Amino acid sequence: MEKKDYKINIIGAGLSGLTAAKVLENHGYYPEVYEASDAVGGRIRTDHVKGHNLDRGFQVLLSEYPKAKQYLDLKKLNLKSLKPGAVIFSKNKKRKIGDPLRDSSLLIPSLFSGIGTLGDKWKILKLNLELKKLSPEEIFGEKETTTMEFLKKKGFSEDIIRNFFRPFFSGIFLEPDLRTSSRMFRFVFKMFGEGEAVIPAGGMGEISNQLAKSLQHTKIHLNTPVEQVTDSKLILKDGSEIKTHFSIIASEASSLVSNLRNQQTEWKSCHCFYFTSKTSEIDGRIIGLIAEDSALINNIFYHSSLEESEVEEHLISVTIVKETELEIKQLEFRIRKELQEYCDIKVEELLKHYEIKKALPDINSLQYEIMPTETRLNNRIFLAGDQLLNGSQNAAILSGERAALGLIETLEGGAITAEITSEYR
């Protein structure tokens, strides 16, 4: 059978599914992608509302993600770099802290911020240097503990944990207690230390769009939810059936495959609100953090700072990672009050609210790598998605690549796993 005649179907058009399609294309196959929603991107999408780009949840891309550098044309994404630090709002003060080695303008504010001790700054520098010597594989191979336990064991003061590490990494891990694996903390800390946090000028959805546009021989079916996957067919929600030789499930598989019904992934959630504002209380492209235990808000970011010229109105995102039972109107009222109380920020129109129930997989025993053969559920069905490894864009892309290579290996022989394994010897 010719390669183009194999019916290879991919369920999900997020980063994993699109990467899987790209790898299959590179090896001469013609896959088809089935996506339940009306656009590609999965959790990385951008909506356009009243002239503003609204990402579905505040996100950044870390430019040093190995798989991002491999599969994305970063230059063509028109990336805007954020300052390597944060503005901290606490005790009626606004203070700035950051990495002066990468941005000299942060030296004086960091030294006189009053956040942490000189010993804390030295420990941060030392940790940066330690992690530069380690590969991601080595980091994920080390003993796992919680991020909070790791920071305390490293001797960081309660002050810098409370006012910087906890609010900053709570926004990344989408949980307020830093119970996330120390492997993930060390990996993300390494990526921040070696590269930049960036956002495409057109929004994070441009990442998914670029991957989709790079596909030459792949058909993408939007608004086509899949109800069930078997070895020989896809059953769509409308009851129709699609014949398949092989399938890659690049979404949560538990609801699609009968023998996985009781193996659902646990997920972390968050709320993200977008408001307009007449003024900006933060100068430049830098995240704002509210380091108050009583506050619901975790972080704020002025997306209007990504613009190259002056804007008539500012766009600000507000992210909540703590659990709350407040109704949306009550939550909006609480947010407006906290912005005024803690940040002296007055917002105007609410443009959009996102409740993202499946924002990040909540998993333990995090891994960096997965072999192609490990993505195989059976001889015909393969799995992809960051829930197989760790909650990151890098893991999403890597898992999509590995699932495609696992499928190719099934068709063409066992040389691929041997080649990948040799990379880490």
* Domain end position, chosen among 344, 361, 378: 361
Of the candidate ranges 16-25, 219-228, 255-264, the one whose mean pLDDT is the lowest = 255-264
* Domain end position, chosen among 361, 380, 409: 361
Q: What is the CATH number of the domain that holds 402?
A: 3.50.50.60
Same domain, 209 and 341: no
How many domains would you assign to the chain?
2
For residue 261, the model assigns a pLDDT of: 63
Query: 93-135 pLDDT, tens per residue?
Result: 999 999 988 888 888 888 889 999 999 999 999 999 999 999 9
Query: 361-375 pLDDT, tens per residue?
Result: 999 899 999 999 999
For residue 415, the model assigns a pLDDT of: 55
Query: 365-402 pLDDT, tens per residue?
Result: 999 999 999 999 999 999 999 999 999 999 999 999 99
Query: 63-92 pLDDT, tens per residue?
Result: 999 999 999 999 999 999 999 999 999 988
For residue 414, the model assigns a pLDDT of: 61
Same domain, 28 and 53: no
Same domain, 110 and 140: yes
Q: What is the CATH number of the domain that holds 129?
A: 3.90.660.50
Same domain, 286 and 396: no
For residue 226, the model assigns a pLDDT of: 98
Residue 345's CB is within 10 A of a number of other CB atoms, namely 23
For residue 312, the model assigns a pLDDT of: 86
Query: 338-360 pLDDT, tens per residue?
Result: 999 999 999 999 999 999 999 99
For residue 425, the model assigns a pLDDT of: 40
Same domain, 88 and 190: yes
Percent of the chain with pLDDT over 70: 97
User: What is the span of the domain harbouring residue 400?
Assistant: 3-45+204-265+365-422
